[in-house]
Amino acid sequence: MKKCFRCHAPVADGKVSFKDECPSCRSDLHVCVNCLFYDTGKHNSCREPQADYVKEKDRANFCEYFRFKDDDEQRSDRDEAAKKWEALFKKR
């Protein structure tokens, strides 16, 4: 399920355009913090190496690489990471 980064209200599925806003809190949706590639541990806080630098991560931008993150995708990524961690440090 897609959710707004600010109010965590559900957002309708489908493509998010540059000017779309959250129906609940009216904040911009096409923002770095809503993106699948957003990662504060990476250079420019983005896992996409070809993306242009965006100064305000919570404001609308024109990034062509934007993909709205999905809670289900994040949950499965965390589960996969946990399995790899356990396998790495598994007692023999």
* Structure confidence at residue 29 (pLDDT): 94
pTM over 0.85: no
Determine the Cα–Cα distance for residues 46 and 35; give it in Å rounded to an integer: 9
Q: Tell me the residue range of the domain where 14 lies.
A: 1-92
Number of folded domains in the chain? 1
pLDDT at residue 79 is higher than 70: no
Would you place residue 85 in the very low, low, confident or very high pLDDT band (cuts 50, 70, 90)? confident
